[in-house]
Structure 1
Amino acid sequence: MKKNLFINLALIAIATTIFSCKKEIHQNVQDEDKISAAPVTSKNGRLVFKNSNAFKETVSTLINKDSNYLTKWESDFNFISLRSDSSASRIYDSFDFPTFYGAILNNKGEYMIADTIVYFNNGYKYLVPNNDEALLNKIKKDPSIATLKFKAGVVPISTSSIVKSGSLSTESTSLPGGGTDARYQYQFLRNGDPNSQRKFVFEIFNYVEAAGQTSICYVRTRIKQEYLGGNKPGNWLPTSSETYEKKITGMNFQVAFFNTGNGTLSYVNGSNINLSETDITKLDYTLCTFQASRPNITVTLTGNYYAKVLPPWNVDGKSTYTANVSW
């Protein structure tokens, strides 16, 4: 009896162990299924979007969100974002990414859509299928071997011929705009100090990522403040300490672009948009986003732009600028 009882107890113990193992394996499979079903996860220091739709939905959620919102959103993922690494961010300044990109890119300029690694470097967006880390490392060493690469960055906007080049309601200085259309700029001295040259810049521009026959466009407007760094001529740098008010009121715009579906001319409109911020960062607002068959678009825009540096950096009340603009 004792022997039979011992054998029965042993069989029960073995059965219990097998059941526990099966339960644990089943739970692990369920957990992996949940992870794979999530629209956004993180893996190997990158954000991974389940598919293109998950990426588009995430973008629509993050566009025009403030820094606090983006920080809270990032906290759900175990990765170092481009926003959180200031030294890495400076490397990617030439792309002039939309603000939300700093939240989805890691500090190496990467994210993933399904099993495709997306990598940005030197004005190009590289696609590396099949999660091929070895190929990615080769491309980083020699970008010329990449077969899937597309231009990414700012493309100048054309001004509608029916709209004049713009007018200013107060004193102004017209300066070259470069890639971005920054024709409305105002230089001033902070509190009258000749060694503290400052500048307000009002911009509208188009960030574009080419993708074969399609261009993904983010049309943006911005108010920013810069200072003249050192004695080097034209070395304007973003201010990092001066709080200032930034306002855009009564803005109306129309964007004309060629549709990717049928190639016809299409339009995006917006009316009476009002924006304001008071901090040390630039006001960066995405007017619209769409896919087009050509990267060059035409924009008409009217509105009132306003900027003012606040105390203690501005004690004389003179560093104020208002512009009525049309591109």
Structure 2
Amino acid sequence: MIKTKHALVVFGLTTVLLASNCSKNEVSSVPEHNKTILQTKQPIVSNNRLLFNSQENLIAYLKENMRKKIIDQDGFTSLSTALKNLPDKTPVSDELRDLLSFGFPQELLSVLNSKGEVRIGDEIVWYHSGKKYYIPVADESKIDQIKQKPESIDKFFDAKQIKLQSINPNAKTDIGLTATDSRYIKEFYLWGTTHTRFVHEASAFIEGTNVGTWIAYSVIRLKLEWKDCCKWNPATTIRDVSVNLTGSANLYNGTGTLPTNGNYIMGPSVSINVTDVVNSDYVVTLAAVEGYGSLLSGSHWTLRLDGSIYQYAQGDYLTNAWTNTATPMW
């Protein structure tokens, strides 16, 4: 165990999850791209999807825009914008609830459309129920029918949140295979009537690609949820948020060393000072790594973060505002 004045937080990225990237047909090379695709590294809009001519260009775009606010291009509505446009107190649809369950980093929320789609070359990538499916553009006219039977799609890879494992004595118990450890929670009654809670959690997101790579993200997520008779639900109330964190987020393999088959897209050092107005999950990327092959069993993110996080539901009692501070936070 590494002994420092900071807490050590571990996100397991098991070989099982990484090796479960699968396809009914083996994919050994990048598909041929349609010659009509513009030869540019920047995305264009095609049928309300961002179109990248290669996986490499998508990664370059994500790297260029890490922790930046990406403005939607004309003719394109991102998943991030779709969530922001939800009217206050509106129930979240099953489709959006499914997409929220992925725990996407903000960069992917800005690249995907409101249906969880992005186009790469001659394929439409669709995120659904813990997987990313590759659908040929040639089948676009019948994409709705194809989505009714995702088990019939030949090419797919895992894409999911990874549970948090922690040796921090203040950590909560793990709550499921692909869930996160909701480390900090404040429950209160919004406007004195609705049972509500702020949640500040650290989580990891990992996905495979069709070119033999994987991408792993470490993120901080700020949520507002309300409770009905039986469960907690995503809330769409407008709120003020701020995140002020410094430290590091390192990806290690099972032996405690940096994976030799991976490179940081962002990080590992962390210095974040942001303020925003939101009405859905607010996600800040700490670090991201792109790699090849499979990580060893026991691979994990190690977080050492100090600072504070603030949330306040606009129009609510000021006494319900929450400044969450600790040394360490994680």
Aligned residue number for residue 14 of structure 1: none
- Cα distance, 1:149 vs. partner? 0.9
Aligned residue number for residue 122 of structure 1: 129
- Cα distance, 1:175 vs. partner? 6.8
Are the aligned partners of 1:257 and 1:266 in contact in 2 as well (CA < 8 Å)? Answer: no
Structure 2 residue 32 is matched with structure 1 residue 37: no
Q: TM-score, normalised by structure 2?
A: 0.68
Distance 1:135 1:148, change over 3 A: farther
Q: Which has the larger radius of gyration?
A: 1
Structure with greater proportional helix content = 1
Aligned residue number for residue 6 of structure 1: none
* Counterpart secondary structure, 1:92: helix
Structure 2 residue 64 is matched with structure 1 residue 61: yes
Distance 1:275 1:190, change over 3 A: farther
Q: Give the one of 70, 80, 83 matched to 1:83.
A: 80
Q: TM-score, normalised by structure 1?
A: 0.68
Aligned residue number for residue 98 of structure 1: 105
Structure 2 residue 310 is matched with structure 1 residue 313: no
- 1:194-237 deviation per Cα after TM superposition (whole angstroms, max 9, x unaligned): x4333232211111112376422122122333332x332xx223
- 1:109-157 deviation per Cα after TM superposition (whole angstroms, max 9, x unaligned): 2222111221222221112346443675563232222221111111224
Are the aligned partners of 1:166 and 1:325 in contact in 2 as well (CA < 8 Å)? Answer: no
Matches of 1:130 and 1:190, distance apart in 2: 48
Taking the TM superposition and a 5 Å limit, the aligned residue runs for 1:126-145 are 126-129=133-136, 131-133=138-140, 136=143, 139-145=146-152
Taking the TM superposition and a 5 Å limit, the aligned residue runs for 1:167-246 are 167=170, 174=172, 177-178=175-176, 179-190=178-189, 193=192, 195-211=193-209, 214-228=213-227, 230-232=228-230, 235-246=231-242
Are the aligned partners of 2:263 and 2:289 in contact in 1 as well (CA < 8 Å)? Answer: no
Distance 1:47 1:276, change over 3 A: closer
Aligned residue number for residue 250 of structure 1: 246
Determine what percentage of the aligned residue pairs are the same residue: 21
Are the aligned partners of 1:254 and 1:299 in contact in 2 as well (CA < 8 Å)? Answer: yes
Are the aligned partners of 1:251 and 1:303 in contact in 2 as well (CA < 8 Å)? Answer: yes
Distance 1:198 1:319, change over 3 A: farther
Q: Give the one of 97, 111, 119 matched to 2:118.
A: 111
Structure 2 residue 302 is matched with structure 1 residue 299: yes
Distance 1:79 1:183, change over 3 A: closer
Higher relative contact order (CA 8 A, sep 6+): 2
Residues 90-99 or 79-88, more deviating = 79-88
Letter matched to residue 113 of structure 2 = N
Are the aligned partners of 2:161 and 2:180 in contact in 1 as well (CA < 8 Å)? Answer: no
Matches of 2:263 and 2:56, distance apart in 1: 23
Are the aligned partners of 1:185 and 1:201 in contact in 2 as well (CA < 8 Å)? Answer: yes
Aligned residue number for residue 87 of structure 2: none
* Counterpart secondary structure, 1:231: coil
- 1:157-200 deviation per Cα after TM superposition (whole angstroms, max 9, x unaligned): 444xxxx41559xxxxx57654343342233324794x433323
Distance 1:158 1:257, change over 3 A: farther
Are the aligned partners of 1:48 and 1:112 in contact in 2 as well (CA < 8 Å)? Answer: yes
- Cα distance, 1:299 vs. partner? 1.7
Are the aligned partners of 1:248 and 1:306 in contact in 2 as well (CA < 8 Å)? Answer: yes
* Counterpart secondary structure, 2:63: helix
Aligned residue number for residue 21 of structure 1: none
- 1:67-91 deviation per Cα after TM superposition (whole angstroms, max 9, x unaligned): xxx3x3x134x23433344555344
Letter matched to residue 38 of structure 1 = T
Unpaired runs of at least 5, structure 2: 1-34, 84-92
Distance 1:309 1:190, change over 3 A: farther
Residues 83-92 or 277-286, more deviating = 83-92
Matches of 1:208 and 1:244, distance apart in 2: 28
Residues 88-97 or 33-42, more deviating = 33-42
Matches of 2:287 and 2:99, distance apart in 1: 22
Letter matched to residue 284 of structure 2 = Y
Unpaired runs of at least 5, structure 1: 1-32, 169-173
